[in-house]
Structure 1
């Protein structure tokens, strides 16, 4: 079971916050999850409860309404904006504290307090809001920050293309300057969040040669701009989907649509993925620990051939290996998160990559082992392991596949890459 409340390495302030979060979950969020048959959204035998299969596989409105109510209550209680700057009503939480919180919430298991498929939590993760706050003009902040927090629009993220994923410097989407405007042509895939977004953060090459990290610019594009077309949504292991294919055909935006500095868009993308990767690593760690916790509990109770499963080395040793890896991952994740708070993120990009690819792999292995320990019932949708596996399997690909992240580590290890060489 989780020991975050007694961990001597966690500050008393953070321990107090974790206790408050647990009390809030038990007092407000769990009752909300149980009322009005809301439990249907967490019964993974009934995936249709969340998914409108007749309309592109998008989230059903009643599911979205429940998430909105959860966020409203969390915001009223002072938790939802915790990671955001004080100017936006938050507490300016550090990356270290956010990694501790995300591990703790994921280790509690599946539920409305911290939903995996939708990536919604009582302590929100607001990467695009933080990008606008960091790089945006006053006008961009006024238009997009608060709306992005409360869910009345906000910003989707368009980096990946049909022919280009992790090799973003070779993207084919182009933006050409014509007079005082920019004209965007190209397309994106896995353009997440567009079903509910008012704007899309579109990365396009504006100068430089293919393969050059400089010369890519980030544009904030209203989704109702002429020539902006959503072609459909990609269905995945976990449904519903919000991953759009998008085409840009002579999409015209003004110079004021640029986020940050022209030609330096990948700096923005790097900040996005670094913050997300360390937080995702913490969530994967917590979800994997949840699988271990349930497996140990089951092995102690399940009797076969006259003895508990817990007495059999074939059951013990794989869980011992996983528990040992969890301890090492926690130390690496928290050390790296703390460094993100004090150092240039490009200096420790390799450490972030280590955390992310190892934690995501660990979670998938823990879910798989939990299925094995639980036997037939573990393979069923009556227990959470298949859902945890299906969700976290994506992170071994998205935001940089584990191969790309290992390549990043190799680049730093052998001196081919590092701060100033991106």
Structure 2
């Protein structure tokens, strides 16, 4: 599905493949690193006796992959030229994310950690776009190299998609702020140096204005990581966090006071289109593997591929993928040239449909492969367990469908 791509984009994909084949695949094959990707993957990655957190040696392997990718000039493509990037467009990143996921499981693009040879740095972009000069100096390069890591504290025990109703508060105390509240699914807290905590500083529950984002060092007194929630796909990095009289200076605010929700929305918008592309790539991988197996597998004297019960479901999935690919790429191009809010409904279309597609494709690939498809010796169960989360996180699909409906029926957007 590359015939419609510009020559420079096709060359980039060829360069990516060459780098993976010559640098990353051999690293994956060293020292039984395959244990992180074959049937042992969940157990090799997870320290079940330490709360289900990722094993240090798993993180070390990912770090080595990123170091090699950075040296080769791939890791920072998405970043500004000021820090060694190429200011890659949303269109380029959508194409790349699909391509990497389409290659299947591997160190080049790990689904679970969203760790790739072409880095995904949402926290960097938030600091770069909304941060002060001092915040950029402290965090920008450090977030790339791993010396700094930001947790993301938006969701709460009683509030998920309804973030405007969050109960975490921050009140002024002299020149400081005192934060009280609780966060759930606070991602990345096992390695975070700081937590990006969203708290209401003014306004009323349900109002978008009045929520502020704070960069809180994790060793600040009163901040407590209470529990890491075990999930369908392990290891976990999703914490329950308590904030009890956490004191931070005014300089900890990221962006404008009271406009923190804009930061959260910025985080999910570009992430959603890229994640949709990744889901599409993983879905196409599942479809292609099922088709290949059906051609080779002979039952009752005929290949599975000769049976309509096998053909038709895969044709439906393949068709959905082809249509979704066009929508994702057009939407990504528009994100590069238009206001995010102008295309937010199409971003939601791409995201919820792609996340459904990959779950359906993984499920169908399991079915076509029979008992082996259900086993951990093939990657489909891992793909399903990972991508199933995206039908909930970063805006549940019901929320995204509601957004599309708002534009369709004129409740929001230009028709309002």
TM superposition score category, shorter chain reference: over 0.9
Question: Which of 6, 11, 14 is the aligned partner of 1:16?
Answer: 11
Contact 1:144–1:155, Cα closer than 8 Å, also in 2: no
Equivalent residue number for residue 249 of structure 1? 244
- The structural deviation recorded for 1:418 is 2.9
Query: 1:370 aligns to what SS in structure 2?
Result: helix
* Bigger Cα displacement from structure 2, 40-49 vs 343-352: 40-49
* Count of aligned pairs: 416
Q: How far apart are the structure 2 equivalents of 1:204 and 1:412?
A: 29
Q: How far apart are the structure 1 equivalents of 2:415 and 2:51?
A: 43
Equivalent residue number for residue 52 of structure 2? 57
Whether 1:121 and 2:133 are equivalent positions in the alignment is: no
- The structural deviation recorded for 1:242 is 0.7
* Bigger Cα displacement from structure 2, 253-262 vs 409-418: 409-418
Question: Which of 266, 272, 278 is the aligned partner of 2:267?
Answer: 272
The Cα offsets for residues 181-222 of structure 1, whole Å up to 9 and x where unpaired, read as 111000100110111111111100001110001110111111
Contact 1:217–1:261, Cα closer than 8 Å, also in 2: yes
- Give the alignment of 1:178-217 within 5 angstroms: 178-217=173-212
Question: Which of 336, 339, 342 is the aligned partner of 1:344?
Answer: 339
Change (3 A) 1:324 1:70: same
Equivalent residue number for residue 64 of structure 2? 69
Contact 1:145–1:154, Cα closer than 8 Å, also in 2: no
Contact 2:276–2:351, Cα closer than 8 Å, also in 1: yes
Whether 1:376 and 2:371 are equivalent positions in the alignment is: yes
Q: How far apart are the structure 2 equivalents of 1:240 and 1:416?
A: 41
Equivalent residue number for residue 391 of structure 2? 396
Query: 2:413 aligns to what SS in structure 1?
Result: coil
Q: How far apart are the structure 2 equivalents of 1:252 and 1:115?
A: 37
Query: 1:195 aligns to what SS in structure 2?
Result: coil
Query: 1:245 aligns to what SS in structure 2?
Result: strand
Equivalent residue number for residue 303 of structure 2? 308
The Cα offsets for residues 100-153 of structure 1, whole Å up to 9 and x where unpaired, read as 000000000000000011111000100010000000001111111111111112
Return 5+ residue gaps in structure 2 as ranges. none
- The structural deviation recorded for 1:420 is 12
Equivalent residue number for residue 324 of structure 2? 329
Question: Which of 216, 222, 232 is the aligned partner of 2:217?
Answer: 222
- The structural deviation recorded for 1:419 is 7.4
Q: How far apart are the structure 2 equivalents of 1:128 and 1:79?
A: 18
Whether 1:356 and 2:361 are equivalent positions in the alignment is: no
The Cα offsets for residues 315-366 of structure 1, whole Å up to 9 and x where unpaired, read as 0000000000000100010111111111111111111110000000000000
Contact 2:407–2:415, Cα closer than 8 Å, also in 1: no
Equivalent residue number for residue 159 of structure 1? 154
TM-score, normalised to structure 1's length? 0.97
Q: How far apart are the structure 2 equivalents of 1:187 and 1:340?
A: 34
Contact 2:183–2:241, Cα closer than 8 Å, also in 1: yes
Change (3 A) 1:299 1:45: same
- Give the alignment of 1:79-158 within 5 angstroms: 79-158=74-153
* Bigger Cα displacement from structure 2, 206-215 vs 47-56: 47-56
Q: How far apart are the structure 2 equivalents of 1:122 and 1:45?
A: 23
Query: 1:142 aligns to what SS in structure 2?
Result: helix
* Bigger Cα displacement from structure 2, 70-79 vs 338-347: 338-347
Q: How far apart are the structure 2 equivalents of 1:45 and 1:260?
A: 43
Whether 1:240 and 2:235 are equivalent positions in the alignment is: yes
Q: How far apart are the structure 2 equivalents of 1:51 and 1:417?
A: 44
Equivalent residue number for residue 27 of structure 1? 22
Equivalent residue number for residue 381 of structure 2? 386
Change (3 A) 1:71 1:246: same
Q: How far apart are the structure 2 equivalents of 1:20 and 1:190?
A: 37
The two structures, once aligned, show a CA RMSD in angstroms of 1.1
Q: How far apart are the structure 1 equivalents of 2:135 and 2:181?
A: 24
Q: How far apart are the structure 2 equivalents of 1:334 and 1:87?
A: 27
Change (3 A) 1:324 1:46: closer
Whether 1:171 and 2:166 are equivalent positions in the alignment is: yes
